[in-house]
């Protein structure tokens, strides 16, 4: 009962005060003046107790408050026998408190829906069937079964194709299909058939468990909500008391002083600003951004300098297969198929991308046997009668590898790539290069941050200077700080504070000190949270860093609306206070007028609940389906793009064989060019419509034309050779292939950034 009263106190006061005020009005209408007077007195006393309790609570928390004005106004109404004015003030206070409680509860509900779905148990696959275990007992490398309708308990890798409802994490309502070998995050709901996953995290470090902790922390910080406008109370309370005292002293009439206090009851300060800020918290939560309190939201709106980490922030934070380099006379597709087959049962960070790449290329990945994983080195197993090993160069090739492997190592060092060797039956057959690609939405995020008021963007990374500089140039930062330790990032924050309020964006444990030291720390938790999320003020729970720019837009708008509500409400209140001091407003009339002013201010504040202009582009469901289909085609021709470079690499002027080049151009004409024409016909208009301007797609159209032109030139060159190639022909052919490869790589990056990044991120 006590808990129920605590949750519903504001509503109880509102209902009782409304009944007493209305009952008094009815009694007065039927000439029962005494009954009316006592009802209004009871209502005023109720308001006085309510306001006095709020004042005592504020004093106990040692924070300034304007509730004292309401206490004086209510007490003064009783002292000068103006109970109707006091009853109106009580109703006004109760109405405002209910509105604030509703807005706060709405923001909490947006977050708390997540915690209610947290899984408690998991079904582990063991030798003799299934065993149900607590989620806390799940270990890395366990095989779990997730039935239809169940929430995935921990992060893992899929053994088969599956379909999930990921709306709890991304906000995207449509089910998402995931191929075998791809990683799946905890917290999503299996909406297909039973699916098996290989766990890659424990429950404590999984995405959903971390999200639940963040929600609980955000709720703890936000309650009690610190009224952002209380800072003005220090000046407003003395001003009101001086004006009321002056009115009494000059006129000799205490009623004037009460009238001043009545119209000074500052609901715009008490409620309008908090409603706007809490509405901003709710809007940000809907975008997948957990903001830990109104103070963090206001600071986010004032951010002018952004320091951003590279790995997992500007880059995906997860390697992708960049190239397959084979030994002389090797078969890259077969090497990748065998490697992916054994990697299915490996929890290593490079295993998932290898399996995923093989599945995307349509390779026949089979289940291995006799699998053993050597920690920190690699994995080995039997696939179709072949002993296959995949892992580090030194583990497989030793410290004196063949020449072609040394070239692979040098290329990996130059590109900043990771590498794994593939050994089949004791012979090294291929090297797999994996790279952490730049997020397609990273350049757009930087541009959007600048539109949101950020004047300076600094990339602070622990990576090498050349790698950091390459990423910085592509995304468009102002400065790159490479080889940074956590201490270096703290020093950089100190230097950058001279340019304005600082925002630090990161996702690693080493970012936690800087996140805590910045004016606003922003952590990425879409793939699981670490200490960075605990130290941050803002946490992105969606795998889209451009959500930060949207959150800044929401914060700035909420803050702006809060100031507008306060300015309008308090400006009109000050005018009314002067009128009351001069004797033009009686306490009852003043109370009614203040009610109108308060409702106007609250109405202005409630505008923050409505959606505002964001930098993100809203797509129709039809456009999303079209874009998803085109991206699938785009991904299917990606191996063909890499084949262009491989064919060019293999050309030899001393052995002028152009058969591979002819087969390549045939494939380009039958597979690549139709895709580029479809992009021009369907993708370009879609992006132009989404961006609202044709200028956004001019570069895409130009590269479509250039690709077709380059393929046509290759065909003409090969036709002119006609089976009798000269060394000069080979040199020219190699040059043209490399040129086409460069155009294709640039074009793919353009499409990723300008088009496919419009789709919600699901991984």
> Among the ranges 225-234, 262-271, 555-564, which has the highest mean pLDDT value?
555-564
With the C-alpha atoms ordered 196, 199, 202, 206, is the resulting torsion angle positive or negative? negative
- Rounded to the nearest 5°, which phi and psi values hold at 504? -105, 130
Strands 162-165 and 189-190: antiparallel
Identify each DSSP E strand in 289-404 by its residue range. 289-291, 303-308, 320-326, 369-374, 378-383, 386-391
Q: What's the pLDDT band for 270 if we cut at 50, 70, 90? A: low
Q: Are strands 418-424 and 427-435 parallel, antiparallel or unpaired?
A: antiparallel
Q: What's the pLDDT tens digit per position in 627-677?
A: 888 888 887 787 788 788 878 877 776 777 788 888 888 988 898 888 888
- CA–CA gap between residue 365 and residue 356 (Å, rounded): 10
- pLDDT confidence of residue 456: 93
* Contact indicator for 50, 95 with CB cutoff of 8 Å: no
- pLDDT at 262 > cutoff 80: no
Closest to 759 measured CA to CA, from 613, 612, 630: 630
159 contact partners, CB below 8 Å, separation of at least 6: 143, 180, 195, 196, 197, 198, 344
> In this predicted structure, which of 422-436, 495-509, 706-720 has the lowest mean pLDDT?
495-509
Residue that has been written with the tokens 């690693």 in this structure: 508
Residues 6+ apart with CB under 8 A from 507: 309, 311, 312, 313, 317, 523, 524, 525, 527, 530, 532
Residue 603 to residues 96, 272, 564, 568, 600, Cα–Cα distance (Å): 11, 8, 11, 11, 5
427: which strand partners?
A: 424
Computed on alpha carbons and rounded to an integer, the radius of gyration of the chain in Å comes to 33
In this structure, how many other beta carbons lie within 10 angstroms of the beta carbon of residue 620? 11
Q: Could you give phi then psi for residue 369, rounded to 5 degrees?
A: -130, 165
Is residue 8 over pLDDT 50? yes
Domain limits, the chain = 2-113+218-281+556-609, 320-435, 621-758
Q: DSSP strand E in 425-546: where?
A: 427-435, 456-460, 479-481, 501-506, 520-524, 538-540
Percent of the chain exceeding pLDDT 90 equals 3
Give CA–CA dist 383/376, Å, rounded. Answer: 22
Length of the chain: 763
In the predicted structure, residue 762 carries a pLDDT above the cut 50? no
- Token pair of 96 as six digits: 């405002």
No. of H helices and E strands in the chain?
29, 22
CATH number for 320-435 (one of 3.40.1110.10, 2.30.110.10, 3.20.20.70, 3.40.190.10): it is 3.40.1110.10
Model pTM score: 0.65
DSSP-derived 3-state class of residue 94: helix
Q: Minimum mean pLDDT among 304-313, 553-562, 604-613, 675-684: which range?
A: 604-613
- Looking at per-residue pLDDT, the higher value among 206 and 117 belongs to 206
**pLDDT range class, residue 763, cuts 50, 70, 90:** very low
Average pLDDT score over the chain:
79
Q: What is the pLDDT of residue 218?
A: 45
Looking at the predicted structure, is the pLDDT value of residue 577 above 80?
yes
**pLDDT score, position 389:** 93
**Alpha carbons 11 and 101: distance in angstroms, whole number:** 9
Distance CA(423)–CA(302), nearest Å, equals 55
* pLDDT for residue 350: 81
Please report the pLDDT score of residue 458 as a whole number. Answer: 92
DSSP-assigned beta bridge partners for residue 626: none
Q: Is the pLDDT of residue 148 over 60?
A: yes
pLDDT tens digits, 506-561: 876 567 677 777 888 888 766 554 445 666 778 887 777 778 888 888 888 888 88
Residue 65: which H helix or E strand, with range?
none
Lowest-confidence segment of 54-63, 428-437, 444-453, 457-466 by average pLDDT: 54-63
Overall average pLDDT of the 388-409 stretch: 83
Q: Looking at residue 43, what is its pLDDT?
A: 85
> Does 193 score more than 60 pLDDT?
yes
Q: Which helix (H) or strand (E) holds 165?
A: strand 162-165
Q: Higher-confidence residue: 293 or 664?
A: 664
pLDDT confidence band for 316 (50 / 70 / 90): confident
Position 170 pLDDT exceeds 70: no
pLDDT score at 486: 74
Core vs surface per residue 586-605: b (16+ CB within 10 A) or e:
bbbbbbbbbbebbbbbbebb
Separation between Cα atoms, residue 164 and residue 177, nearest integer Å? 6
What are phi and psi for residue 511, nearest 5 degrees? -90, -10
**Interval 466-492: pLDDT, tens:** 888 888 888 888 998 888 877 888 888
Q: What is the pLDDT of residue 167?
A: 63
- More confident: 66 or 300: 300
Q: Distance (Å, rounded) from C-alpha 23 to C-alpha 761?
A: 57
| Positions marked catalytic | 309
pLDDT at residue 222, rounded to an integer: 36
Q: Which residues of 198-221 are buried (b: 16+ CB within 10 A; e: fewer)?
A: bbbbbbebbbbbbbbbbbebbbeb
Is residue 194 over pLDDT 80?
yes
User: What are the pLDDT digits (tens) for 327-385?
Assistant: 877 788 888 999 999 988 887 778 888 888 888 788 888 888 888 888 768 889 999 88
Q: Is the peptide bond before 656 cis (omega within 30 degrees of 0)?
A: no
Q: What is the pLDDT of residues 319-333, one digit of tens each?
A: 888 888 888 777 888
What region does 721 belong to: left with phi over 0, alpha with psi -120 to 50, or beta?
Answer: alpha
Q: What is the mean pLDDT of residues 297-303?
A: 85
The token pair at 103 is 């807005």
Distance between CA atoms of 355 and 198, rounded to whole angstroms?
13
Judge whether 351 and 379 are in contact, CB under 8 Å.
Answer: yes
């Amino acid at each position: 009962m006590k808990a129920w009263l605590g949750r519903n106190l504001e509503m109880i006061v509102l209902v009782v005060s409304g009944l007493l005020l209305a009952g008094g009005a009815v009694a007065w209408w039927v000439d029962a003046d005494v009954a009316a007077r006592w009802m209004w007195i009871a209502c005023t006393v109720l308001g006085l107790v309510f306001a006095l309790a709020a004042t005592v609570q504020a004093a106990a928390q040692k924070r300034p408050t304007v509730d004292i004005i309401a206490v004086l106004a209510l007490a003064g109404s009783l002292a000068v026998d103006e109970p109707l004015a006091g009853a109106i003030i009580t109703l006004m206070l109760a109405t405002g408190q209910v509105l604030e409680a509703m807005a706060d509860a709405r923001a909490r509900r947006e977050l708390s829906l997540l915690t209610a779905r947290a899984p408690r148990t998991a079904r582990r696959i063991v030798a003799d069937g299934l065993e149900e275990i607590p989620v806390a007992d799940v270990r890395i490398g366990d095989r779990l079964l997730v039935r239809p309708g169940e929430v995935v308990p921990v992060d893992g890798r899929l053994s088969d194709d599956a379909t999930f409802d990921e709306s709890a994490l991304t906000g995207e309502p449509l089910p998402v299909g995931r191929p075998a070998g791809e990683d799946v995050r905890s917290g999503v709901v299996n909406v297909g058939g039973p699916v098996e996953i290989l766990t890659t995290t424990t429950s404590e470090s999984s995405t959903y468990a971390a999200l639940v902790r963040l929600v609980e922390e955000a709720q703890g910080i936000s309650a009690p909500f610190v009224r952002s406008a209380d800072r003005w109370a220090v000046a407003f309370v003395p001003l009101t008391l001086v004006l009321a005292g002056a009115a009494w002293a000059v006129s000799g009439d205490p009623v004037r002083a009460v009238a001043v206090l009545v119209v000074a009851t500052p609901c715009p300060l008490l409620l309008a600003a908090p409603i706007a800020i809490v509405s901003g918290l709710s809007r940000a939560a809907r975008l997948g951004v957990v903001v830990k309190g109104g103070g963090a939201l206001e600071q986010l709106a004032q951010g002018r300098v952004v320091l951003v980490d590279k790995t997992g922030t500007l880059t995906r934070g997860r390697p992708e297969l960049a190239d397959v380099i084979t030994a002389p006379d090797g078969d890259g597709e077969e090497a990748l198929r065998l490697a992916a087959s054994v990697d299915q049962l490996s929890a290593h960070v490079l295993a998932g991308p290898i399996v995923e790449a093989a599945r995307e290329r349509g390779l026949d990945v089979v289940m291995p046997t006799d699998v053993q994983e050597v920690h920190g080195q690699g994995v080995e197993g039997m696939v179709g009668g072949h002993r296959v090993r995949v892992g580090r160069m030194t583990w497989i090739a030793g410290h004196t590898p063949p020449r072609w492997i040394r070239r692979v190592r040098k290329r990996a060092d130059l590109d900043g790539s990771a590498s794994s060797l593939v050994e089949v039956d004791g012979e090294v057959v291929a090297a797999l290069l994996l790279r952490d690609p730049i997020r397609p939405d990273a350049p757009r995020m930087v541009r959007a941050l600048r539109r949101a008021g950020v004047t300076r963007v600094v990339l602070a990374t622990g990576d090498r200077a050349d790698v950091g500089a390459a990423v910085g140039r592509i995304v468009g930062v102002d400065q790159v700080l490479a080889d940074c330790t956590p201490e270096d990032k703290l020093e950089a924050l100190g230097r950058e504070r001279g340019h304005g309020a600082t925002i630090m964006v990161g996702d690693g444990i080493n970012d936690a000190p800087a996140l805590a030291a910045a004016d606003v720390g922003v952590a990425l938790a879409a793939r699981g949270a670490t200490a960075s999320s605990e130290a941050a003020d803002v946490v992105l729970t969606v795998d889209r860093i451009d959500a930060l720019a949207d959150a800044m837009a929401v914060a700035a708008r909420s803050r702006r609306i809060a100031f507008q509500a306060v300015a309008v409400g308090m400006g009109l209140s000050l005018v009314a206070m002067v009128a009351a001091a001069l004797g033009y407003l009686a306490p009852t009339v003043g109370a009614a007028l203040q009610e109108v002013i308060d409702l106007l201010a609250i109405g202005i504040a409630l505008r923050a609940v409505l959606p505002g202009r964001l930098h993100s582009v809203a797509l129709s469901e039809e456009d999303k389906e079209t874009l998803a289909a085109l991206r699938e085609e785009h991904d299917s021709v990606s191996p063909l793009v890499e084949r262009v470079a491989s064919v060019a690499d293999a050309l030899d002027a001393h052995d002028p064989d152009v058969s591979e080049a002819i087969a390549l151009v045939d494939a380009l004409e039958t597979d690549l060019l139709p895709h580029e024409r479809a992009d021009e016909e369907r993708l370009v208009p879609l992006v132009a419509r989404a961006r609202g301007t044709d200028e956004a797609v001019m570069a895409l159209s130009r590269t479509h034309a250039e690709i077709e032109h380059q393929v046509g030139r290759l065909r003409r060159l090969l036709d002119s050779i006609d089976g009798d190639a000269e060394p000069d022909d080979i040199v020219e052919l190699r040059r043209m292939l490399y040129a086409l490869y460069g155009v294709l790589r640039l074009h793919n990056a353009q499409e990723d950034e300008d088009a496919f990044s419009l789709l919600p991120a699901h991984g």
